[in-house]
Amino acid sequence: MLPRPHGGRLVNRVMGEELKERTLEEARGIPRIEVSLDVAVDVENIAYGVFSPLEGFLSRNNYISVLESMRLENDTPWTIPIVLDVASRELRGKEVNEGDTVALTYKQRAFALLTIEEVYRYSKSEYMESVFKTLDKNHPGVRKIMEMKDRLVSGDIELINSVENPYTRYTLHPVETRVLFKELGWRTIVGFQTRNAPHMGHEYIQKTALTFVDGLFINPVIGKKKPGDFKDEVILKAYEELIKNYYLKGKAVLAILRTEMRYAGPREAIFHAIVRKNFGCTHFIIGRDHAGVGNYYKPYEAQEIFNEFPDLGIAPVFFKTFYYCKKCYGYVNEQVCPHRGEDVIPPSGTKIREMLMKRRLPPREMMRPEVAKIILSFEKPFVD
Amino acid sequence: MAGESEKERKHTTVSIPIQLYEKIKKRIKGTGFTSVSDYVTYVLREVIASLEEEEKEEVFSKEEEEKVKERLRALGYLD
């Protein structure tokens, strides 16, 4: 049996077809708030239940509760604020008040409605310290918060139309993954979060997890990333190649999660687990430095935080990093292999990246040649 | 950010027998739990989560399911 969605019910805030045309017509006469692609995509995530139980942007009390206790006001675990920032000047100019319905627009086209519940002030430093544990401007999450506007607007949303998506082929909503898992006969599913093209370490983590569950849900994050990260299309093509050549048929599903990386380490690990629970996963893999960046979080801090959430409703599966051991003649990790130092070849992401940047194939102990060749078939495989 | 009064609003007091309190106090020594309240909250969350798990309901109608299967087939996820 698949887990119940987070909060008990899969949220659906997608407007019925019969209402869309009339609503878009009416939306011309109401105030509009232009949002970024990241926000627009999160509106979609709310609407399709990826962020269940959220039905809109966080109210002030929920926002404070998430910062302070990593839970919504009703005690449901929730670790990342999903908020809409708007400039107070813009709200005044448009005479927008609490209780009003506004059209959310992306590239000037209305795509959703927002019924404004509250407009509230917030402290950026409290947000950054609570979520990222740092105020360092070198942290990509901190930089993003510093650029946010001065007010947060809460309220329920209703999606009229989806925004542009170059990856519809790989986009599944939770209602669809839940049917898919059932049709595949999977009762236990392990979710795998990634923002990288797969190396051998990833593959062995996934396959080890696959030894005790029915199916693997590979769910790369597609959205804004930092320079040096693999481009989205590279990640998808690399995984397709890996699955085609090295996975049993009917044991792995590849579909994307459209949302930005927050680089919030442990808090984001919980958030990622909740999202995969909504997709129908029973288990979720947490490796070393999950959703981390630089040295802001301890290597296994994203695993330790799960102790605080016995009521999460999805089982975390913790792994140490896998590496190739010359003495064991295989892929192992420090929980099963006594060898260290010169005896082992760790599939270092940094080294692999350096080799690929020089258009060289990494050794096969680090990355499958088929996968490396696919990556090198792209002229520029990394984010500029 | 919340003042002290708002923080306080998030918790309330329940009574448990003193003997049980003492037992729990002993049990949590040397564990990650820093107070009896933390331990009781943990246990109650576990119990409630497992009860809610038992009350699961199906989330889609048959028609919705068929429509979803059509898309999954069109995308190549199902044969």
- At A349, the pLDDT band (50, 70, 90 cuts) reads confident
Encoding tokens for residue A287?
């490796």
A195 is catalytic: yes
Number of domains in chain A: 2
Q: Which residues contact B43 (CB under 8 A, 6 or more apart)?
A: none
Residue A353: domain span: 168-376
Whether A66 is in a domain gets the answer yes
Catalytic residue among A151, A195, A258, A353: A195
Q: Which of A124, A159, A194 is the last residue of a domain?
A: A159
Residue that the structure tokens 């192992």 belong to: A332
pLDDT, residue B2, reads 46
Residue B4 has pLDDT above 90, yes or no: no
Could you give the CA distance from residue B32 to residue A189 in angstroms, rounded to a whole number? Answer: 30
Could you give the CA distance from residue A179 to residue A194 in angstroms, rounded to a whole number? Answer: 23
pLDDT, residue A164, reads 92
Could you give the CA distance from residue B77 to residue A84 in angstroms, rounded to a whole number? Answer: 34
**A85 with A142, same domain?**
yes
Q: How far is A285 from chain B (nearest CA, A)?
A: 21
**A73 with A143, same domain?**
yes
What are the helix and strand counts (H, E) for chain A? 13, 16
**A136 with A200, same domain?**
no
Lowest mean pLDDT among A24-28, A60-64, B7-11: B7-11
pLDDT, residue B1, reads 47
pLDDT, residue A325, reads 97
Q: What is the mean pLDDT of residues A322-332?
A: 96
> Measured between beta carbons, which residues in chain B are less than 8 angstroms from residue A123?
1
> Measured between beta carbons, which residues in chain B are less than 8 angstroms from residue A64?
1-2, 6
Q: What is the mean pLDDT of residues A301-322?
A: 94
Residue B9 has pLDDT above 70, yes or no: no
- At A1, the pLDDT band (50, 70, 90 cuts) reads confident
Answer whether A178 sits within 8 Å of B60, measured CB to CB: yes
Residue A35 has pLDDT above 50, yes or no: yes
Answer whether B72 sits within 8 Å of A180, measured CB to CB: yes
Q: Is A117 left (phi over 0), alpha (psi -120 to 50) or beta?
A: alpha
Q: What is the mean pLDDT of residues B12-30?
A: 91
Whether A363 is in a domain gets the answer yes
Structure confidence by residue, pLDDT tens digits, A239-251: 999 999 999 999 9
Whether A382 is in a domain gets the answer no
Identify any residues that bridge with A103 across adjacent strands, giving them in sequence order: A32, A113
**A265 with A155, same domain?**
no
**A125 with A190, same domain?**
no
Mean per-residue pLDDT over chain A, rounded:
95
**What CATH number is associated with residue A362?**
3.40.50.620
Whether A381 is in a domain gets the answer no
Answer whether A179 sits within 8 Å of B65, measured CB to CB: yes
pLDDT, residue A302, reads 96
Q: What is the mean pLDDT of residues A170-177?
A: 96
User: Which candidate, B8, B25, B27, B9, places its Cα nearest to that of B17?
Assistant: B25
Answer whether B48 sits within 8 Å of A183, measured CB to CB: no
- Cα dihedral A222/A224/A225/A230 (nearest 10): 50
pLDDT, residue A8, reads 87
Whether A384 is in a domain gets the answer no
Please tell me which residue, A366 or A1, carries the higher pLDDT value.
A366
**A152 with A174, same domain?**
no
Task: Establish whether this prediction's ipTM goes over 0.90.
Answer: no
> Collapsing DSSP states into helix, strand and coil, what is residue A203?
helix
Q: What angle do CA A348, A232, A201 make, to 5 degrees?
A: 25
**What CATH number is associated with residue A89?**
3.10.400.10
**A183 with A146, same domain?**
no
**A25 with A155, same domain?**
yes
Identify any residues that bridge with A113 across adjacent strands, giving them in sequence order: A103, A158
Residue B22 has pLDDT above 90, yes or no: yes
Q: What is the mean pLDDT of residues A143-156?
A: 97
**A218 with A312, same domain?**
yes
Residue of B53, B59, B68 with shortest CB distance to A10? B59
Q: Do the Cβ atoms of A189 and A281 come closer than 8 Å?
A: yes
Whether A86 is in a domain gets the answer yes
Q: What is the mean pLDDT of residues A254-265?
A: 95
Q: Which of A113, A132, A159 is the last residue of a domain?
A: A159
Q: What is the mean pLDDT of residues A364-375?
A: 97
Answer whether B10 sits within 8 Å of A65, measured CB to CB: yes
Q: What is the 8-class DSSP label of residue A258?
A: E
> Measured between beta carbons, which residues in chain A are less than 8 angstroms from residue B75?
169, 172
**A149 with A185, same domain?**
no
pLDDT, residue B60, reads 67
Catalytic residue among A45, A151, A178, A196: A196
Whether A383 is in a domain gets the answer no
Q: A79-116 in b/e burial notation, b at 16+ Cβ within 10 A?
A: bbbbbbbbeeeebeeeebeeeebbbbbbeebbbbbbeb
Structure confidence by residue, pLDDT tens digits, B26-79: 999 988 888 999 899 988 888 887 777 666 555 567 888 899 999 999 999 998
Residue of B48, B53, B69 with shortest CB distance to A183? B69
Structure confidence by residue, pLDDT tens digits, A212-228: 999 999 999 998 777 88
Please tell me which residue, A372 or B3, carries the higher pLDDT value.
A372
Q: How far is A358 from chain B (nearest CA, A)?
A: 35
Full-model pTM: 0.89
**A196 with A292, same domain?**
yes
Whether A51 is in a domain gets the answer yes
Encoding tokens for residue A116?
């404004």
Q: Which of A119, A139, A159 is the last residue of a domain?
A: A159
Residue of A68, A175, A183 with shortest CB distance to B2? A68
pLDDT, residue B57, reads 57
Residue of B45, B65, B68 with shortest CB distance to A310? B45
Lowest mean pLDDT among A47-56, A57-66, A94-103, A150-159: A94-103
**A125 with A238, same domain?**
no
